[in-house]
Copies of this chain bind each other. A is one copy, B any other.
Amino acid sequence: MKAETFRKAAAEALGTTLLLAIVVGSGIMGERLADGNEAIALLANTLATAAGLVALILVFGPVSGAHFNPAVTAVFLARREIALSLAVLYVAAQVVGGVLGVVLAHAMFDQDLLQTSLKARDSAGEAIGEAIATFGIVLTILGVVRTRPDAVAFAVGLFIAAGYWFTSLTSFANPAVTIARTLTDSFAGVRPADAPIFIAAEALGAALALGAASLLFRDAARD
């Protein structure tokens, strides 16, 4: 592996590790302190996730593009902006990193390192929500990266902050995050049995965003 390739994969792995540590850790802390008020716990979870995600994209963006998300990597593959071999490596790094992040969060809060979520999330509305969330985040990336690359980190963090509240599953919007969340029996968890439908919804949302972007964001020159 070339040094350049190693750095990119390591950035995806480390970035996704930190992202999941943030998602799961702040969920644990939020629930622990919120005295049973779930809205307050989710406000804390939202603040931490959005703020941390912006910081991580600023740090790792110049190295790997800061995908942290197989759906995003797949979209760039479909647009031929990343090679297949590198895309496979990215997805592997994201999944492994996500799992490590959950383990780290458990270690920080003195919990069992390996857990399985018992939290059922299985309504039709939540699958719709997940498709919309992924549609939105992919469209945000594709829309902003071409006109204001300096603002992508902020746009992504802000859209996820909104998504935590306006979509019914709180916007996992990311298959690596969905897999990792099955491994924690805490605020941010989701039952393994419920994960496949959400991953399918994420794939659908990403595909729709890819199409919408090609309609909406075509270069004026081509018309």
Contacts and interface: CB of A to CB of B under 8 A. Distances in A.
A85 interface: no
Question: What is the oligomeric copy number?
Answer: 4
B4 A220 contact: yes
Contact of A59 (B7, B59, B144): B144
Contacts of A156: 55
A154 B155 CA distance: 10
Interface of A: 2-4, 7, 10-11, 14, 18, 21-26, 29-30, 33-52, 54-55, 58-63, 104-105, 107-110, 123-126, 128-129, 132, 136, 139-140, 143-144, 147-148, 150-151, 154-159, 161-168, 212, 215-218, 220, 223
Given A37-B40, A128-B108, A218-B7, A155 B58 contact: yes
The DSSP consensus for interface residues of chain A is: helix
Contacts of A159: 51-52, 55
A49 B88 CA distance: 36
